[in-house]
């Protein structure tokens, strides 16, 4: 498998080159297919790329929104990144952590420091999920990664009513071997994320200098294959938008998802679509070759939602609040809040961004409390559920549940239970007020739509309200 490369640049380039304004009837057939939660073909996605008129784009947006509702309802999962080390041996042109960036203040957190960061996240802010992020470096070897996970999971902080702890640790780190990934699996990893950055081979070579570990396109491309082989079924893929033609990149994402489905019967658990943000002393990041504007980002979100309808979609605090607001309903399922990306910044930061110890600058530094309140006002419930991987709802199982719309039942109930918990332990008065309205609506919906589950939910809900924690279906 070592040099098996399934991204067919020539085919993707041809599809982009041959994009034509499609017949609306054909577009509608494709939308109906997506609406049935079926992965599109490359040709179908390329057809959608050709749509020019606003009216059809709005039909596509409405379908994306409907798919989001079918699969994920009105839930948004929140998380925080935990930057553990910014030492890196690579030299990616766009990243503030690149080895040649002398202006970057380097830091590698000790176990005690990781514990302290986790205490803030779990005890003061109220997060239940983090994504641990590492540069690629011998210091950040598999032993360190495992230690990181163990440390984060071990923290438990008394809070208002119950206790705060992190219940799912996802990881964004360099591609690893199957043996190393097995260690991460044993340590309880949630999702393993590796973004290909760009699927275009020529561009990949241009921004990842030859001789660096990261310059090996195929080693990176097959990171998710190795993860699956190691038993990590929740994998996250992504593109760093701005490196190459966005139309090629969405086709690349789809080809990657199809390949995972073909080989393992399970597609990506999540898809990320970050845009390049300005990084300190990193000229490329200030003038990316294929900068993506807000209107195009909206198209990207719609197209990903339609092309891979079951996948979770992650929108991060790289994007400013206004952009996040417009994209959330179109298909996004996860977002971060109270985000700090300086290594050690949850403990030491005063809220200001510090370019010389960040990978890039954030567009949105609002608190989790503010984001939860805004989501509630938009009719969405913030889910702190982390039950999935702990009760076997991962990989093929969750994929089937998602496709059939049944996953929503468990998730809805767990969203209610964890939201109750979070409101009691962390919410400000203002957030609590809107949050209670959301909860009341959600409980009523379960009573009417899932009467067989309602009595059990009521019993669990009463336990959480009485102070019991981490109760789930
Ligand atoms: N070092 C590992 C790697 O490269 O896979 C993982 C961590 S890296 C810090 C996480 C991701 O940050 C990268 O995959 C890349 O997509 C993204 N990134 C890098 N520079 C960025 C920038 N200037 N703006 C936005 N995202 C960036
Ligand atoms: Fe290192 Fe990752 Fe940044 Fe590249 S993107 S320089 S590998 S931290």
Top mutation candidate among 99, 135, 172 for ligand 1, by most atoms within 8 Å of CB:
172
Question: Which atom of ligand 2 lies nearest, measured to the CA of 213?
Answer: 7
Give the closest ligand to the alpha carbon of residue 140.
1
Say yes or no: CB of residue 214 within 6 Å of ligand 2.
yes
Question: Residue 243 CA: which ligand is closest?
Answer: 1
| Ligand 1 atom nearest residue 86's Cα | 9
pLDDT at 409 over 90: no
Ligand 1 near 222 CB (within 6 A) = no
At 274-328, the pLDDT tens digits run 999 999 999 999 999 999 999 999 999 999 999 999 999 999 998 999 999 899 9
- At residue 354, the pLDDT reads 76
Q: Which of 95, 101, 132 to mutate to test the pocket of ligand 2 (most atoms within 8 A of CB)?
A: 95
- Ligand 2 pocket test: pick from 89, 97, 138, 318 the residue with the most ligand atoms within 8 Å of its Cβ: 97
Top pLDDT among 360 and 79 is at 79
What is the percent of the chain with per-residue pLDDT over 90, rounded to a whole number? 83
Q: Read off φ and ψ for residue 164, nearest 5 degrees.
A: -105, 140
pLDDT of residue 269: 95
Tell me the best of 81, 87, 90 to mutate to test the pocket of ligand 2, counting ligand atoms within 8 Å of each CB and taking the most.
Answer: 90
Mean pLDDT score of the chain: 93
Tokens for 455, please give them.
Answer: 């009595």
In short, whether 417's Cβ falls inside 6 Å of ligand 2 is no
Q: Nearest 5 degrees, angle CA 58-CA 59-CA 65?
A: 85
Quick one: which ligand is closest to 319's CA? Answer: 1
Q: Which residue lies with its CA nearest to atom 5 of ligand 2?
A: 95
Contact 165, 155 (CB under 8 A): yes
Burial class (CB in 10 A: 0-12, 13-18, 19+), 303: buried
Of 359 and 371, which is predicted with more confidence?
Answer: 371
Atom of ligand 1 lying closest to residue 220 CA: 5
Q: Which 8-state DSSP code applies to residue 403? A: H
Domain boundaries, the chain: 68-389, 398-465
Q: Is the model's pLDDT at 3 over the cut of 80?
A: no
CA-proximal residue: ligand 2, atom 4 (nearest): 92
At residue 334, the pLDDT reads 95
Give the per-residue pLDDT at 272: 98
Distance from the CA of 31 to the center of ligand 1, in angstroms? 32
The whole-angstrom separation of Cα 202 and Cα 225 is 23
For ligand 1, the distance from its centroid to the CA atom of residue 85, given in whole angstroms, is 13
Q: Give the span between the Cα atoms of 348 and 123, in whole angstroms.
A: 15
Residue 284: other Cβ atoms inside 10 A? 17
Ligand 2 lined by 87 (C-beta under 6 Å)? no
CB atoms within 10 A of CB 463: 13
Q: Which of 195, 217, 289 to mutate to test the pocket of ligand 1 (most atoms within 8 A of CB)?
A: 195
Picking from 140, 112, 145, the residue whose alpha carbon sits closest to that of residue 344 is: 112
pLDDT the model gives residue 290: 97
CA of 359 to the centre of ligand 2 (A): 9
Residue 395 has pLDDT above 70, yes or no: no
pLDDT for residue 398: 62
Closest by CA to 274, choosing from 309, 306, 311, 236, is 236
Count the neighbouring beta carbons within 10 Å of the beta carbon of residue 21: 11
Does the 68-389 domain belong in CATH 2.60.120.10? no
Ligand 2 center to 176 CA (angstroms): 14
Q: How far is the CA of 272 from the centre of ligand 1 (A)?
A: 11
Nearest to 192 by CA among 223, 155, 150, 215: 223
Work out the percent of the chain whose per-residue pLDDT is above 70. 94
State the pLDDT at residue 154. 98
* Range from 10-19, 73-82, 266-275, 357-366 carrying the lowest mean pLDDT: 357-366
Residue entry with tokens 């003038």: 287
Name the residue of 274, 353, 355 whose CB sits within 8 Å of the most ligand 1 atoms, as the mutation to test its pocket.
274
pLDDT at 403: 65
Residue 406: pLDDT band (50, 70, 90) is low
Q: What pLDDT is recorded for position 283?
A: 95
The residue-averaged pLDDT of 397-420 equals: 76
Q: Is 424 in the pocket of ligand 1 (CB under 6 A)?
A: no
Q: Model confidence at 394, in pLDDT bands (50, 70, 90)? A: low
The CA angle 57-62-68, to the nearest 5 degrees, is 125
The confidence band for 353, taking pLDDT boundaries of 50, 70 and 90, is confident
Determine the atom of ligand 2 nearest the C-alpha atom of 96. Answer: 3
pLDDT for residue 39: 97
Confidence of residue 10 (pLDDT cuts 50, 70, 90): very high
Q: Indicate whether residue 274 lines ligand 2 (CB < 6 A).
A: no
Q: Ligand 2, closest atom to CA 359?
A: 3
Q: Which pLDDT belongs to residue 410?
A: 78
- Segment 202-216, tens digit of pLDDT: 999 999 999 999 999
- Tell me if 172 CB under 6 Å of ligand 1: yes
The residue whose C-alpha atom lies closest to atom 2 belonging to ligand 2 is 135
Q: Where are the alpha helices (DSSP H) in 131-235?
A: 142-154, 178-186, 201-207, 217-221, 223-229
Ligand 2 center to 88 CA (angstroms): 6
C-alpha dihedral sign at 249, 53, 70, 44: negative
């Amino acid at each position: 498998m070592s040099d098996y490369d399934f991204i067919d640049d020539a085919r993707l380039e041809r599809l982009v080159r041959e994009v034509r304004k499609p017949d609306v009837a054909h577009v509608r057939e494709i939308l109906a297919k997506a609406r049935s939660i079926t992965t599109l073909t490359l040709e179908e996605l390329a057809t959608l790329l050709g749509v020019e008129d606003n009216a059809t784009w709005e039909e596509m947006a409405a379908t994306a929104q409907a798919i989001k509702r079918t699969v994920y309802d009105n839930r948004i999962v929140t998380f925080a990144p935990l930057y553990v080390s910014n030492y890196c041996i690579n030299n990616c042109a766009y990243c503030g952590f690149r080895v040649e960036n002398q202006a970057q203040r380097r830091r590698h957190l000790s176990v005690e420091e990781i514990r302290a960061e986790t205490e803030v996240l779990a005890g003061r802010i109220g997060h239940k999920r983090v994504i641990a992020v590492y540069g690629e470096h011998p210091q950040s070897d598999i032993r360190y990664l495992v230690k990181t996970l163990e440390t984060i999971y071990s923290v438990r902080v008394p809070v208002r009513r119950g206790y705060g702890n992190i219940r799912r640790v996802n990881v964004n780190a360099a591609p690893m071997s199957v043996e190393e990934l097995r260690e991460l699996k044993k340590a309880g990893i949630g999702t393993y994320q590796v973004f290909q950055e760009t699927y275009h081979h020529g561009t990949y070579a241009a921004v990842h200098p030859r001789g660096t570990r990261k310059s090996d396109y195929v080693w990176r491309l097959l990171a998710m294959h190795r993860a699956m082989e190691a038993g990590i079924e929740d994998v996250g893929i992504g593109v760093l938008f701005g490196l190459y033609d966005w139309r090629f990149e969405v086709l690349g994402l789809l080809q990657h998802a199809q390949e995972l489905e073909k080989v393992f019967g399970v597609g990506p658990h999540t898809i990320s679509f970050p845009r390049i943000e300005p990084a300190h002393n990193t000229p490329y990041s200030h003038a990316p070759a294929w900068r993506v504007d807000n209107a195009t980002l909206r198209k990207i979100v719609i197209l990903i939602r339609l092309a891979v309808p079951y996948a979770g979609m992650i929108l991060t605090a790289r994007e400013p609040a206004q952009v996040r607001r417009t994209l959330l309903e179109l298909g996004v399922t996860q977002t971060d809040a109270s985000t700090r990306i300086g290594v050690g910044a949850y403990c030491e930061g005063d809220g200001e961004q510090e370019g010389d110890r960040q990978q890039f600058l954030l567009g949105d530094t609002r608190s989790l409390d503010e984001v939860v309140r805004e989501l509630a006002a938009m009719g969405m419930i913030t889910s702190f559920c982390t039950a999935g991987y702990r009760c076997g709802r991962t990989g093929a199982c969750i994929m089937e549940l998602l496709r059939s719309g049944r996953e929503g039942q468990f998730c809805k109930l767990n969203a209610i239970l964890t939201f109750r918990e979070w409101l009691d332990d962390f919410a400000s008065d203002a957030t609590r007020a809107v949050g209670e309205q959301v909860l009341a609506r959600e409980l009523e919906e379960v009573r009417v739509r899932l009467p067989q589950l309602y009595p059990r939910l009521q019993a669990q809900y009463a336990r959480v309200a009485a102070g019991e924690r981490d109760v789930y279906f």
